[in-house]
Chain A
Amino acid sequence: MSILIGRETRLVVQGITGREGEFHSRAMVEYGTSVVAGVTPGKGGQTAVDGRVPVFDTVVEAVAETGANTSCIFVPAAGAPDAVMEAVSAGIRTIFCITEGIPALDMIPVVAMVREAGATLIGPNCPGATSPGRAKVGIIPGSVHREGRVGVVSRSGTLTYEAVQAMTDAGLGQSTCVGIGGDPIVGSTFTDILERFADDPETDALVLIGEIGGAAEEQAAAWAAEHLAHVPRVAFIAGRTAPEGKRMGHAGAIISGTAGTAASKVEALEAAGFRVAGSPTELPALLRAAGYRG
C-alpha cells in the first residue's frame, strides 16, 4: 500500500505548461508516476513533456478523458485557491498544492470546501509526496528515496529531503513521505497524516519533521501517544536557535510568547514517546534505538 499516492494514482498537473509545472512533470514522469493529463486554460489540445502528456483546458475534461484521480497544482498564488476548488468540483479526491505565497484567508473557504466534499488537500506551500518505487507527486527529488516501511511527515520542503536522504543513506526505506506545507492554513495537519499511516499495513515506523510556530506538533504528539503507542517513532524540530517574534520565512514559523517554541515541541514529542534528534542525520540511529528493525 502506502498512503495518499501509489500505483493507482492517475495524476493531472494543473499549470503543466509553466516553467515549474513542466520541469517537475517531467521529473514525475521519469520517476514512473502515471501523469495522465495536464491543464492550462487556453492550451487544450496541446501536449506537454515531449508529447507524452495531453493538455486540457479544464480539469473536468481532463478527468472525463483520462480518469485522473489526483491533482498536483503549480498555478501561481493568485489562481491557486480556485485551482484547488476546480479540482474538487471535477471529482478529484487527492489534491497537492505546491504553490507558495497564497494569502492565508483565501485558503479558509477552500479548506472548508475540500472537507465538505470529503476530498484531501495537501498544502499549500508544500513539496508534495512520494511513495518510493510507486509514485511521486510534487517537487521532492526522486533520488533521495528508497523503498521501505518508514512513514515520513514534515512541515518543511528541503528539510524533508535532508531527513529522507539521511534515512536512505542509512538503508532505511520509506513507505510514503509527505510534506504538509509551512503555511498557517493547510489542508492536512500532522495528525491527519499520522492517522493515515496508522491505518497503513505497510508502514511500521514514523518520522515527524516539525518546526517552530503554531501547535500542530504538540497536537500530533498527543494523538500519537494515544494511538501509536507501539510504533517506533522519531522526530526533528527546526528552529531551536530562532529568536522570538521573528517570522522565519514560512508564514507559519513564528514564536510568540511561550507558544510555538522548539522547546515546547520537543518536550511534547518526548513525552509522547518520540525520540527527538539533534540533527537530521541522527534520525536513522534513533529509529533503530527505538526498536525499528527495517
Chain B
Amino acid sequence: MKIQEADAKSLLHAQGLPVPAWDIVHTPAEARAAAERLFLAGNDSVVIKAQVLVGGRGKAGGVKLAGSADEAEAIAGRILGMDIKGITVRKVLVAAAADIVKEFYASAVLDRTERRILLMGSAEGGVEIEQVAETNPEAIIRLHADPALGLLDHQARRFAFAMGLGTHWKAGAAVAQGLVRTMLAYDADLVEVNPLAVVREAGAHGTSAERLVCLDAKITLDDSALARHPDLEALRDPDDEDPADREAREAGISFIKLDGTIGCMVNGAGLAMATMDLVKRAGGAPANFLDIGGGARADKVAAAMRLILADPKVEAILVNIFGGITRGDEVARGLIDARAQQARAVPMVVRIVGTNAAEADALLREARFETAASLDEAAAKAVAATAGSRAGAAAGAGAGSPG
C-alpha cells in the first residue's frame, strides 16, 4: 500500500527523523492561513505541494512556490481540483520553502536477491535513483543491514561519510538508522527520502545555521503486514483505490481492472497472469486480473463474479481453476449459485482441473455449463463467445447460457 507524502513524513517524524513542519489543507483559504503563519514566522516563501499518489506531480504543475499569502491562496486554488494523471487533487501540503545548500538521496528497500534490508544513498539528490543507477551507478552507496541486528552504528557512520555529508555526518548516520527503524516499525517495503537536504535556516540575531532534513518522503507498506498495524489502514488513500478494488480487498481477492472484454476468474496469481496472456494470444483482451486465492470457497466465487460483472465492458467470462489447495467441486458449487443470482447474462466458459475435478465436472455438466479441457481451449472459447455476443447472438449462441 502506498501512502501520501504527508503521511510518510508523519511516520518519519514519529521515528525521530528531522522533517520540517508542514500543514495539510483542503481549501485555498486554509492555504492562505497556513502561509500567513509561515510568513509571520520570518519565512520568505512557501511551497505548496499536491498530495496525490502518482509520480511526476512537479512536472504536472502540482508543486509551486509562493512569495505572499495572496499568491499562496491563488496557487492552492489552481492546484486543488487539478487532475494529475487521472487523480483529482483534494489536499495540498503547505510548508516553508527550504533554502537548499545541497541535495542527497537516501532510502531503505527490501533487497530480494540478498534477502536483507538494503540502504541506498547518493550525493545526487532530487533525481530518480533509477536514473542515477543508469547513468552513474558508482555514485550509489549500498549497504545491507544485518538480518538479525539491523543497521549497526558503524555502518550508519560509513554510509554518512561515503555520502559526502561532511560536517553533517552525525545527522546523516541518524537518518540512516532512522530509515531502517521506520521500515521495521511499520513493515514497509520502501522508505525513501528524496531529497534529503542540507538547508540553511534563519537563526537568532540574523545568523543562519545549516541542518540536514527530509524534504520529501515516500513509503510503501507491505500489504501482508497491515493486519498488525490497524492504525496504518487509516492512511489508505481512497483515490488510489476504486470501489471495485476495495470490494475485492475486503473479500480477500486480488483484482486489477484492465481495459478488455473478457472477465477472468482464476486461482493463483501466476496462472491468472498466464490466463490473461493466453486470452490476448487468442485474439481477445482481458477485462481484469483476478486471483480468488488458495482454498477459495463459494462465497469468494460469488464475490468474484460480482466484481467481474460490475464492469459493463465484460462480454464473456473465463473461469480457470487448477485445484491444489482449492477444491474444484467447491468452486463449481459457487459458480452454480452465483449464476443463479447473476445480474446479467454473460456467456461463461469454465475449466476446472486438479483436486476434486471429477466431482466439479459432474456438477457443471448437470448444470449445463460450457466447459473446456485445456487453458488454450478455454481462452479460444471465451474469445469466440465475445465475438458471438457482439454479433447480437447473446442468448442463443453464447457459450455458458443456462440451458
B-contacting residues of A (Cβ < 8 Å)?
19-20, 24, 27, 77, 98, 100-109, 111-113, 127, 139-141, 143-144, 154-162, 165, 182, 184-185, 189, 209, 211-212, 214-216, 219, 236, 238-243, 246-253, 257, 259, 278-281
Closest partner residue, chain B, to A166 (CB atom): B374
Q: Given the complex of chains A and B, what is the CA–CA distance between A211 and B276 in angstroms?
A: 13
A251 touches B224 (CB 8 A): yes
Contact of B189 among A104, A155, A211 (CB under 8 A): A104
Q: CB-defined interface of B266-305 with A at 8 Å, one 1/0 digit per residue?
A: 1111111110111111000010010100110000000000
Report whether over half of chain B's contact residues are helix, strand or loop; otherwise say mixed.
mixed
Contacts A108-B115, A111-B147, A281-B376 given; does A184 touch B110 at CB 8 Å: yes
A103 touches B273 (CB 8 A): no
Question: B353 near A: Cβ within 8 Å?
Answer: yes
A279 touches B278 (CB 8 A): yes
- Taking A108-B117, A251-B222 as known contacts, 17 extra A-B pairs with beta carbons closer than 8 A to each other, sorted by chain A number, are A19-B295, A103-B187, A103-B222, A105-B110, A105-B184, A113-B148, A143-B354, A154-B270, A157-B268, A159-B274, A165-B353, A184-B189, A185-B110, A238-B270, A238-B273, A238-B277, A249-B272
Contacts A77-B224, A105-B110 given; does A157 touch B270 at CB 8 Å: yes
**Residues from chain A with Cβ under 8 Å of B10 in the complex:** none
**Residues from chain B with Cβ under 8 Å of A279 in the complex:** 274, 278, 281, 375-376
Contact of B254 among A158, A162, A248 (CB under 8 A): A248
Question: B355 near A: Cβ within 8 Å?
Answer: yes
Contacts A101-B224, A281-B375 given; does A162 touch B273 at CB 8 Å: no
Contact of A157 among B148, B187, B324 (CB under 8 A): B324
Could you tell me the distance in whole angstroms from the C-beta of B399 to the nearest C-beta in chain A? 20
B115 touches A185 (CB 8 A): yes
Q: How many residues of B contact A (CB 8 A)?
A: 52
Question: B21 near A: Cβ within 8 Å?
Answer: no
Closest partner residue, chain A, to B355 (CB atom): A141
Closest partner residue, chain B, to A102 (CB atom): B224
B286 touches A241 (CB 8 A): yes
Q: Given the complex of chains A and B, what is the CA–CA distance between A127 and B324 in angstroms?
A: 8
A-B contact pairs, 5 of them (CB 8 A): A103-B225, A158-B267, A184-B112, A185-B112, A248-B254
Q: Given the complex of chains A and B, what is the CA–CA distance between A122 and B46 in angstroms?
A: 53
Closest partner residue, chain B, to A163 (CB atom): B274
**Residues from chain B with Cβ under 8 Å of A281 in the complex:** 374-376
A252 touches B112 (CB 8 A): yes
Contact of B294 among A27, A100, A161, A246 (CB under 8 A): A100
Q: Given the complex of chains A and B, what is the CA–CA distance between A103 and B221 in angstroms?
A: 10
Could you tell me the distance in whole angstroms from the C-beta of A242 to the nearest C-beta in chain B? 6
**Which of B108-127 touch A at CB < 8 Å?**
110, 112-113, 115-117
A280 touches B274 (CB 8 A): yes
**Residues from chain B with Cβ under 8 Å of A112 in the complex:** 115-116, 147-148
